[in-house]
Amino acid sequence: MRHLYTAGAVVALAAGSAFGQISVLNEVNPAVLEAFLAPGGSGINVTGFSLSGHVVGGAASTGVYFLGPGGNNYDLTRPGIVLSTGNAADYSTGPNTVANRSFNYGNPGFGGPGVPATPAQDALLSPITGFGAGAHYDVTQIDITFTTDPGVNTVGFDVVFGSDEFFEYVGTEFIDGFGLYLNGVNIAQYFGNPVNINHPLAGNVAETELDGVILGPNMNFLGPTIAGVNTLTIILCDTSDGVYDTTVYISGLGIPAPGAGMLLGLGGIAALRRRRR
């Protein structure tokens, strides 16, 4: 078990980033998350969308992100969704102020285990983290079913994966991980390795809250679709305890049409929240 220490936790990084900012708002409405992940013109027709996440007080394990003008630290090009083992809204870009940022859904404000994974979640996560049943906590999972437009036989995703487990807990039992299971196959493999904090291509990106990210940092994952109904499971976890957050930014489910984009402001979110599914 690890403990959270505040002494020396503030990390000073180079200030004055010339890039635009990434702003994150907590969001738990599946209709809004779906709209940010699979915007119109993507070649994807979502037929089912379910969320298994966490909300405690003002904290939520899912959110949506917006991009400011110009480039940004993670090379993201379009809005999308955020999944975190902590509070998603803590992961807007800006100077890294806490080296061990944590929100433990199993025991808010303290160390120790988080909310345990289900056996089915453990089965999905074990090949990613290398740990078996009972090792995974604070899991957020999104399950999607979809069909594709004629001529669309591949889907793609842009993903940024970062963690406060970097870099002091690489090679330990705290191997937080992330998966994208498309029709039962985890396509989140980057240079032959699963997406977890043991990935050899991790590094620091200045002016972000995360202690480290896998460099791209914007990774692209592609997978083949099948005729008829496709299934997609997006899953993220803490491993071995519920502290030191791990966070992913995801956008671009589908093959966007040329010039297609999604400009969804606060008014658009309010409208989606009112929509009945």
pLDDT tens track for 135-162: 999 999 999 999 999 999 999 999 999 9
**The pTM is what?**
0.87
pLDDT of residue 19: 52
Is 24 a residue whose pLDDT tops 90? yes
pLDDT of residue 112: 76
pLDDT of residue 113: 86
Q: What is the mean pLDDT of residues 238-251?
A: 96
Percent of the chain at pLDDT exceeding 70: 84
Residue 84 · residue 56 · CB < 8 Å: no
Phi, psi angles (nearest 5°) of residue 267: -65, -40
> What residue segments make up the domains of the chain, in order of their start?
22-274
Is 258 a residue whose pLDDT tops 70? no
d(CA 202, CA 217): 9
Between 2 and 256, the more confident residue is 2
d(CA 269, CA 197): 33
Is 13 a residue whose pLDDT tops 80? no
The pLDDT confidence band at residue 262, using thresholds 50, 70 and 90, is very low
